[in-house]
Amino acid sequence: MTASLERGLNAFREQIDAPVASFFSSCVHCGMCAEACLFYTETGDPSYTPIHKLEPLRRVWQQEYTFWGRLAKAVGLSKPVTDEELAQWETLVYDSCTLCGRCSMVCPVGNDIAYMLRRMREGMAASGHAPEGLVGATRRAVTIGSPMGVKLPALQAQIGHTEKDIGMTIPVDVVGADYMLLLSSMEIMNFPEFIGAIARIFSKAGVSWTISSEAFEATNSGIQIGVSEIAAELVQRVVDAAEKLKVKNVISPECGHAYMAIRWEGPNLIGKPYNFKVVHILELLDDLRKQGRLKISGKETQRLTYHDPCQIARRGGVVDQPRHLLNMVAENFVEMPETGTMNWCCGAGGGVSSNERADGLRLSAFKRKKKQLDVVRPDALVSACSNCRIQLEDGLEENNMDMPVLSLTETIAEHLADD
């Protein structure tokens, strides 16, 4: 057995906790998870059945933690997991799974299959079977602080440009601010107007906020690749910055997995509760709306629909807030079929977008979103995740669908009432 395989199998053993063991022993092999997975429904390939993606982990559980499995292994009826099998499973675990969690929603016995896939990635990464793109992103996140290599001077340049455009100062390293805003590298690189939108909204609503120059990155590649030590280190950087600036709240921006990482996994990763609250930007905007601090002027007349980012809606619970906000700024907001907690993923989350090898599959998976859009035929598509936005633009272009993709936060900012 190679050292890397041993590391991987040890990681599998460590990941088989009580939930994973009970999920495997509860599985009734019904296959319902297949019909919930867009990689299966859009390709028809049975190997994309979510529970099948877990087969090496299931074998380790069975062979080492069940009586009959141990016996079968001892008499040679059940073969040990090999390096070749893990290499074969790499594409199933990383290319054809966005950790969207839709499979977990339909499991009749309540198995959280996405949770298990997240656990399985720990073993895959430990055994050296993680995609090159995610490995590079994770390395940059650790060494530079951003999976895309965005350094502080680049953020400062974007802030400087934004300040000139909007005629406002963007607060950086303000001690005692109520809110510390995190940004994804995708926002800094592809959608810097998000920073201006936030500044304008917060100025009008009277929100005390800041950006930290020491920890501005929201994303967490450690979660996506499956290395909890790295994930914890990235969370700790945010915690340290928030404590240093003595903020009361940390805002997760328009990035799906960043919210799941900092809001839901973060305290468990670092092993202690935060002394600040984490809110998603849409939660905060909706709170401002409820408090009457978000004054809007005019409405979008075009037909708008909303794509729920999986980690924000299904895994994060932020479902009603975007709808309240959209109804504030849209005259003609229409829902796609199967939205909210049962929305279909865009096809690019969970690290799939950083994995070039998965490009073809990612665009095949988008056909599910196309089917949803074809039902309501909107003029524009609104979302709240930069990665979703890029995938949606990519998929729309691939399918000759002419439809702008808008940020919900930026759309709100465009409708702020004058004083």
Partner 1 sequence: MTTISNEREFRAALDKLDATQQRLLAARFVTSVLPLCTDERISHAVAVAADSEASAATLAEALRTAKAATIDCHARCGAEGDWEAQAGYFVARAAIAALTPLGQLPGGSAWQAAMSCRMAQTSKSIVSGEETAGLESEQQYRMLSTYMNS
Q: HEC string of 247-271? A: CCEEEECCCHHHHHHHHHHHHHHHC
Q: Tell which one of 189, 296, 334, 376 touches partner 1 (CB under 8 A).
A: 189
- Outline where 27-169 has alpha helix (H): 32-36, 38-41, 55-65, 67-74, 83-90, 102-106, 113-126, 132-143, 152-166
User: Are 48 and 40 contacting, i.e. CB atoms less than 8 angstroms apart?
Assistant: yes
Minimum gap (Å) between residue 98 Cβ and partner 1: 12
Q: Which is nearer to partner 1, 57 or 217 (CB)?
A: 217
| Sole window of 20-28, 41-49, 332-340, 393-401 interacting with partner 1 (rule: CB under 8 A) | 393-401
C-alpha to C-alpha distance for 359 and 366, rounded to whole angstroms: 11
Q: Which phi-psi region, left, alpha or beta, contains residue 418 (left: φ > 0; alpha: ψ -120 to 50)?
A: beta
Nearer to partner 1, 105 or 172 (CB): 172
Closer Cβ to partner 1, 354 or 383, answer by number: 354
Among 244, 317, 390, 399, binds partner 1 (CB under 8 A): 390
From residue 221 to residue 240, the character string flagging contacts with partner 1 as x (rule: CB under 8 A) and all else as - is x--x----------------
Which member of 305, 383, 387, 409 binds partner 1 (CB under 8 A)? Answer: 387
Nearer Cβ to partner 1 (84/402) = 402
Angle between helices 113-126 and 18-26 (to 10 degrees): 120
For residue 82 the two structure tokens come to 């090999």
d(CA 122, CA 56) in angstroms, rounded, equals 13
Report the distance separating Cα 402 and Cα 393, nearest Å: 9
What minimum distance in Å lies between the beta carbon of 150 and partner 1? Answer: 6
321 near partner 1, rule: CB under 8 A:
no
Q: Which of 43, 66, 190, 339 binds partner 1 (CB under 8 A)?
A: 190
Spatial CB neighbours of 133, under 8 Å, sequence gap ≥ 6: 351, 354, 355, 356, 357
- 249 or 355: whose CB is closer to partner 1? 355
Least distance in angstroms from the C-beta of 61 to partner 1: 30
Give the shortest CB-362-to-partner 1 separation in angstroms: 10
Classified as helix, coil or strand, 81 is: coil
Q: What is the DSSP letter of 354?
A: G
Query: Which residue lies nearer to partner 1 by CB, 56 or 256?
Result: 256
Indicate the residue among 190 and 208 with the shorter CB distance to partner 1.
Answer: 190
> Of 17 and 397, which CB lies nearer to partner 1 in the complex structure?
397
Instruction: State how far the Cα of 278 lies from the Cα of 210, in Å rounded to an integer.
Output: 14
Q: Do 83 and 189 meet the contact criterion of CB atoms below 8 Å apart?
A: no
CB contact set of 350 (below 8 Å; sequence gap of 6+) = 94, 97, 98, 99, 100, 224, 257
Place of tokens 């050292």: 3
Q: Which amino acid is at 119?
A: R
Q: How far is the CB of 139 from partner 1 (least distance, A)?
A: 10
Please report, in angstroms and rounded to a whole number, the separation of the first and last CA atoms in the chain: 70
Residue 108 C-beta: closest distance to partner 1, Å: 34
Q: How far is the CB of 321 from partner 1 (least distance, A)?
A: 22
14 binds partner 1, rule: CB under 8 A: no
Residues 6+ positions from 320 with CB-CB distance below 8 Å: 286
Query: With contact defined as beta carbons under 8 Å apart, do 135 and 95 qualify?
Result: no
Strand-pairing partners, residue 305, are 381
Q: What part of residues 123-182 is at the interface with partner 1 (CB under 8 A)?
A: 133-134, 136-137, 140, 146-150, 153-154, 157-158, 160-161, 164-165, 167
Query: Should residue 414 be labelled a site residue for partner 1 when binding is judged by CB under 8 A?
Result: yes
Contacts (CB under 8 A) with partner 1, residues 351-370: 351, 353-356
Interface with partner 1 includes 393 (CB under 8 A)?
Answer: yes
Of 96 and 146, CB closest to partner 1: 146
Q: Which of 35, 214, 331, 397 binds partner 1 (CB under 8 A)?
A: 397
In the list 34, 116, 186, 247, the residue contacting partner 1 (rule: CB under 8 A) is 186
> Which among 395, 397, 350 is positioned nearest to 42, based on CA atoms?
395
Does 253 engage in binding with partner 1 (CB under 8 A)? no
Partner residues linked to 211 by β-bridges = 172, 181
DSSP code of 306?
E
Residues in contact with partner 1 by CB under 8 A are 133-134, 136-137, 140, 146-150, 153-154, 157-158, 160-161, 164-165, 167, 185-186, 189-190, 192-193, 221, 224, 348, 351, 353-356, 386-387, 390, 393-394, 397, 402, 404, 411, 414
